Amino acid sequence: MVTKVTSIVKFGVEKLNVVTTLIYDVLRCVSLLVQQGLFKALKGVDSLPERMDEENKGDFMERAYSAIQLCLFNEVLRKVVEETMTTRLWKKLETL
């Protein structure tokens, strides 16, 4: 008999908070993107490998966008909610 063991890894990420030191929270967000293999999304869709088809590139960018939003404190999220593209969202956060 073969037993299959799966594990679920859960990472808690503090939400960005404009009252605390924003730079440390952004660094944690970057770390999450790196850990999930999504960091290239911050450089834009053109930085993704050419061998990726357009649908996979879109999915990749959406996952990165979602990961960034999940790191945001509500107060920050309200300031960037109009940004619908990953790179624009990140640039807006950099201006804060």
Q: Where are the domains of the chain?
A: 22-95
Burial class (CB in 10 A: 0-12, 13-18, 19+), 86: buried
Give the confidence band of 3 by pLDDT, cuts at 50, 70, 90. low
pLDDT of residue 29: 87
Angle, vertex CA 84, rays to CA 81 and CA 88, nearest 5 = 95
Distance CA 51, CA 83 (A): 27
For 18-73, the pLDDT digits (tens) are 556 577 778 888 999 999 999 999 999 999 999 999 999 999 999 999 999 988 87
The pTM score is 0.74
